[in-house]
Amino acid sequence: MAKHYKLKMEDKAALLNHLQALNINIDSFDITDNNLDNTFEFTVEQPEIVNMINTVLKRSPKINQVKEQLKAMIREEIKNIRNRG
């Protein structure tokens, strides 16, 4: 099962360094930089690599996934709406 990741551009070097230390190499041709929203994306097919990347992301609080940030913003906005009403 493939897993698609979208992360902040500023975290790219840190993530790739963590992965390289674990002997996981993400080919630069597999990474798509999106300079408009300052993110980069890549997809991983192998389940064991997905598990290792997820572990790196959980252990590295400085590497923030955009999806998690968006969820937090939505939760905060819903909380604000409820408090107004």
User: What does the H/E/C string look like for 62-82?
Assistant: CCCEHHHHHHHHHHHHHHHHH
CATH of the domain at 74: 3.30.70
- Structure-block tokens of residue 83: 């408090």
Report the distance separating Cα 59 and Cα 39, nearest Å: 20
Q: What pLDDT sits at residue 27?
A: 86
Residue 73 corresponds to which tokens in the numbers above? 């913003």
The pLDDT value given to residue 65: 67
Judged by average pLDDT, the poorest of 28-32, 57-61, 66-70, 73-77 is 66-70
Angle made by CA atoms 7, 31, 11, in degrees to the nearest 5: 30
- Per the model's pLDDT, the better-predicted residue between 60 and 3 turns out to be 3
Domain range for 15: 3-84
Residue pLDDT, tens place only, 4-62: 999 999 999 989 999 999 999 888 889 999 999 999 999 999 999 999 999 988 887 67
- Give phi and psi for 20, each to the nearest 5: -65, -35
